[in-house]
Chain A
Amino acid sequence: MAQVSMTVNGKSASGEIDGRTLLSSFLRDDLKLTGTHVGCDTSQCGACLVHVDGVAVKSCTMLAAEADGAEVDTIEGQANADGSLNVIQQAFQDHHGLQCGFCTPGMVMSAAALLKENANPSESEVRSYLEGNICRCTGYHNIVKAIMAASGQDVSSIAAE
């Protein structure tokens, strides 16, 4: 067992962990931040995506020990200070960018990382960036639309309700 300390959503967090403890397990089991989901074991689906020191990582493919001393941001820390949905979250609701909600935390975190890199992504840039996030419900149409809308683009020409 080893001690690990990090800042999660702006608050310090620490715990005693095995070397093998994954960051996703540390968040879910130790910190009870169950918004980060695990949908596969091959680092493909992206449901576990969080930010570590400001960049997107798959928390199921990173050891908690590797995040020692890091700033970690998860879905639980994304809403505005008053608890209202942030711009990306609100766009997902407005454009029906989620159905069962399981991939959604990873999608929102991935979208946040994209928009930090590219404030005005095209449809194909959004689709390409989401390569590592699998959604089985939406067919991605409304996710792509929501992310473009969150970037401030007019999406009214994209089909559907």
Chain B
Amino acid sequence: MPKDGGIGASSKRREDVRFLTGVGNYTDDINAHGQAHVFFLRSDVAHGKLNAVDTTTAAAMPGVVQIFTGADFEAVGGMPCGWQVTGKNGEVMQEPKHPVLASEKVRHVGEPIAAVVADTLEQARDAAEAILLDITELPAVIDMKAAVVANAPKVHDDLANNLCYDWGFVEENKAATDKAFLDAAHVTSLELVNNRLVANPMEPRVALGEYSQGTDEHTLYTTSQNPHVIRLLMGAFVLGIPEHKLRVVSPDVGGGFGTKIFHYQEEAFCTFAAKACKRPVKWTSSRTEAFMSDAHGRDHVTKIELALDADNNFTALRTDTYANMGAYLSTFAPSVPTWLHGTLMAGNYKTPLIYVNVKAVFTNTVPVDAYRGAGRPEATFQLERVVDKAARELGVDPIALRRQNFITEFPYATPVAVEYDTGDYHATMDKLEEMGDFSGFEARRKASEASGKLRGLGVNCYIEACGIAPSNLVGQLGARAGLYESATVRVNATGGLVVMTGSHSHGQGHETAFAQVVAEMIGIDESMIEIVHGDTAKVPMGMGTYGSRSIAVGGSAMVRATEKIINKAKKIASHLLEASESDIELKDGAFSVAGTDKSVAWGDVTLAAYVPHNYPLEEIEPGLEETAFYDPSNFTYPAGAYCCEVEVDPETGKVSIERFAAADDFGNIINPMIVTGQVHGGLAQGIGQALLENCAYDENGQLLSASYMDYAMPRADDLPMFSVDHSCQTPCTHNPLGVKGCGEAGAIGSPPAVVNAVVDALRSAGKDVTHIDMPLSPDRVWAAMQ
């Protein structure tokens, strides 16, 4: 019987009502009195020397308030990078300057050169067309391997070359790994591309800066997944505004998927310009601008090798990856191919020796950073593709090969520096075999063949790491931020309460799910709880939402703060009930004395806290508000098994997804409906990567996929109904809710299933195809068959 409230209930989302009636409050819905609009003049060349920017004519055009160029930002800081990776031999990564507006050079198509502030957007755009640019075009560096050869044109003249870092992990394993390959009975190797993607939340980015001359206070409304991080990065590193003079608000945000984590130039610009122009300044990205200014995702080129012994046990794994950083280091870019990728290379398998090499490369392209999964999809894709290929080479069942090598004992310390606390990979695979109806596959294949189609089945596993932590460890790894989360629980006199969380919801349903947790802990109705997020003036501190960390880290902070509330409330209750505090029990919203029928309601206790007439003032303060900061002791490790069945039209190469099943272990579940929805969305993005999405540049650095006319977003008719299960639950051992996080799993686990399935389909027709690079668009599949 499903619960109708609290933890484990599929409570309907309270935020839906405002979204469904058109009264949500997205950043672009906010307009400040007297606001001006900014239009960014962006580079249309990938690489060039910026000789001059002549704004004379433009500045005199109607409605123009002020025009800014790189020179106006010489006195402020550049865009900061939040993670410093140390490569081989202790070499610290090369970190280029990243100006708010281009100075000296332009380094990618879309880089902002000048910003025109005018009364209206059209006026700003008119004036931008009158700006005269003198740019000497330089050879662009687009291909990563070409970027690191000697004498390649340099993206940054003041760096030694285009290599950001050369990271070896774990360096101590290298010799033993190499030896294991010499001793191997079989080695499978695969070269592959993890295609560049654009996150494409449906809401484009928006920034609105305001400045109060009277109080010297700045406010920035922005479409961010982590307003406090923006406050810190922009305040401290770019504009030099102390936190108490800077408020950052991220109201309803229309999807993030990683790309709204980062601090962007447009945010710093609008904040800066609002003061300079003495007017609020607003920027709303067009979709075309988004394609060339939102940080992109993925873009790895990898060679992976798997060594097996004569009994098909995995003995070693070795990878060599080029990771595209783009032209500048976006906020967390260096961490993605390293600590979010190399550490996951063990996957679900007890491979004893692993060595990962990653070369991060600067190119004349839009910066690349975290996108849903961030590093983990890249790890999963290469590992699960090479395992599949190995099974085919060895003529063994791909599922049996995986099962044979599963990690089965926990905790398990991998050779890549992390320790899985818990899991049960056979359980999710058992579940998947049931969901996928594998025994019926051959009949379905025959039916497809009868209608002229090829059918394939692909299976894979995945593991990921959520709630990146603990702070003292990630600090050693190069993070320039803490990775805790905070929550403040404020109980009002009449018993209702407000949770101020540093997590940020941009589609994940925190307002509903977080309330379910507190309702369960206190035993009150969910409607008595309000979840507040997205405003640095309301929430004390926050690291925000990314990496599937909200419930595992933010939820845990909220639990800790609520526990403090309950402890204090018990003290008050014990006073009111004239009983020992240790005898007080909280159940169904009432405090009672164990073994008696004496009780006092939640509301009476909260009222006493604020009207402390009968109150132990000598022992505790009035009021009922508590804050907790939670810094996890380890990552959480969701894991699962996915399968995909495809049909391939052999005449056109068109792939259609016929069935997709996902068996996940997310530990404990707060709201199954929301979790299922998160998996659905992740699957769509993973399938989109596998079949449709491709952010492509030509050799001159022109973006070929700069709108939805060329960047193929998954549409309703590209996707099937999904079969999703999360009944296999091994609770996380180190957070109070036993939760693991579910936001990225679908995007991490699905691409290899699709590619494995297509390869299987082609092989069923006798085609000797071992790999096709994503996206498996019709032309590529057709070409592979020729």
Contacts and interface: CB of A to CB of B under 8 A. Distances in A.
A binds B: yes
A44 B254 CA distance: 17
Contacts of A142: 677, 680
Interface string A117-159: 0000001101110110111111111111100000000000011
Given A39-B204, A40-B707, A100-B255, A141 B719 contact: yes
Interface in B172-221: 200-204
A104 B15 CA distance: 12
B681 A137 contact: yes
How would you classify the secondary structure of chain A's contact residues: helix, strand, loop or mixed?
loop
A99 B21 contact: no
B276 interface: no
Contact of B708 (A40, A79, A135, A138): A40
A103 B499 CA distance: 28
B245 to A, nearest CB: 29
A131 B718 CA distance: 9
Interface string B519-545: 000000000000000000000000000
> How many residues of A sit at the interface, in one of the four size bands?
35 or more
A104 B16 CA distance: 9
A139 B683 contact: yes
B507 A105 contact: no
A99 B26 contact: no
B16 A93 contact: yes
A143 B714 CA distance: 14
A134 B713 contact: yes
Interface string B682-725: 11110000000000000000000001110001111101011110
B676 A96 contact: yes
B716 A34 contact: no
Contact of A137 (B22, B507, B672, B676): B507
Interface in A49-72: none
A74 B446 CA distance: 48
A113 to B, nearest CB: 15
A23 interface: no
B717 A94 contact: no
Nearest to B506: A100
The winner among B22, B29, B673, B677 for most chain A CB atoms within 10 A is B22
Contacts of A130: 715-717
B674 interface: yes
A112 interface: no
B202 A134 contact: yes
B251 to A, nearest CB: 12
A108 interface: yes
Interface in B253-297: 253-255, 257, 286-288
Nearest to B726: A161
B150 interface: no
A39 B10 contact: no
Contacts of B721: 123, 141, 144-145, 158-159
Given A75-B21, A138-B677, A128 B708 contact: no
A6 to B, nearest CB: 17
B26 A37 contact: yes
Contacts of A104: 19-20
B715 A40 contact: no
B1 to A, nearest CB: 14
A13 interface: no
The winner among A28, A42, A131 for most chain B CB atoms within 10 A is A42
B569 to A, nearest CB: 33
> How many residues of B sit at the interface, in one of the four size bands?
35 or more
A47 B713 CA distance: 14
Nearest to B204: A39
A109 B201 CA distance: 20
A128 B65 CA distance: 47
Contacts of A89: 20-21
B288 A41 contact: yes
Given A40-B287, A92-B16, A159 B257 contact: no
Contacts of B287: 39-42, 45
Contact of B22 (A20, A76, A140, A161): A76
A42 B709 contact: yes
Interface in A73-87: 74-76, 78-79, 85
B202 A47 contact: yes
A105 B22 contact: yes
A98 B724 CA distance: 17
A101 interface: yes
B12 interface: yes
A142 B13 CA distance: 14
A45 B713 CA distance: 9
Contacts of A74: 22
A39 to B, nearest CB: 5
A98 B709 contact: no
A136 B685 contact: yes
Contact of B715 (A33, A93, A131): A131
The winner among A41, A85, A126 for most chain B CB atoms within 10 A is A41
A94 B680 CA distance: 16
Nearest to A99: B507
Contacts of B19: 98, 101, 104-105
Contacts of A126: 716
Nearest to B682: A139
Given A99-B681, A100-B203, A144-B721, A127 B254 contact: no
A37 B203 contact: yes
A134 B757 CA distance: 26
Contacts of A105: 19, 22
A158 B721 CA distance: 8
A47 B722 CA distance: 24
The winner among A34, A138, A141 for most chain B CB atoms within 10 A is A141
Contacts of B674: 96
B202 A140 contact: no
Contacts of B253: 100
Contacts of A36: 22
Given A34-B28, A139-B746, 20 more contacts: A33-B22, A36-B22, A39-B203, A41-B287, A42-B709, A76-B23, A85-B21, A94-B12, A96-B674, A100-B507, A101-B15, A101-B254, A133-B716, A134-B202, A136-B257, A138-B680, A139-B681, A140-B680, A140-B684, A159-B721
13 contacts: A35-B24, A41-B288, A45-B713, A76-B21, A85-B20, A96-B673, A100-B255, A101-B507, A134-B713, A136-B681, A144-B721, A160-B673, A161-B673
3 nearest interchain CB pairs?
A35-B22, A101-B19, A102-B254
